[in-house]
Amino acid sequence: MNATTTSVSAAGPTSRWGRIGLWVLQILAAAAFLAAGSFKLAGNEMMVQVFDQIGIGQWFRYVTGIVEIVGAVALLVPFTAAFGGVWLAITMLCAVSTHLFIIGGNPVPAIVLLLITASIAWFRRASFRALLG
């Protein structure tokens, strides 16, 4: 294998650059979800309006904020990174659906985060299996 080839196993990327790239993705995703969850929990005016449009109630904004923060922290812990990826990918699938079927607006940011978190879950799937059994 030469330096430009990235090998991937069930445990994730085996090359140094592949592992670094995956950690960069995890850190960026965690930062995005920590910020989004914090805005929701802090009662940011835009977040309050979005959750008013959803129509379930503001309690759901708090639940969503907690889900995002827990998922972000999980992305930063090696043993739970796959769980965090799955947890947040499901959350983003719900966010995309909410944009498409309830509130409108641009679903692209949620789609991008869905793809990133699903990729993290995929590359960290061996640790997910270890976590489950």
CB burial string 62-73: b at 16+ within 10 A, e below = eebbebbbbbbe
Q: How many domains does the chain have?
A: 1
Residue 74 lies in a domain: yes
Instruction: Name the H helices within 43-107.
Output: 45-54, 59-76, 81-98
The per-residue pLDDT string of the chain (133 residues; one tens digit each, 9 = 90 and over) reads 444 444 445 456 778 898 999 999 999 999 999 999 999 999 999 999 999 999 999 999 999 999 999 999 999 998 899 999 999 999 999 999 999 999 999 999 999 999 999 999 999 998 877 777 7
116 and 25 Cβ atoms separated by less than 8 Å: yes
Cα 30 to Cα 76: distance, rounded to the nearest angstrom = 7
Determine, yes or no, domain membership for 66: yes
**pTM higher than 0.95:** no
Range of the domain at 128: 14-132
- Per the domain annotation, does 125 fall within a domain? yes
Residue 6 located in a structural domain: no
How far apart are the C-alpha atoms of 13 and 53, rounded to whole Å?
41
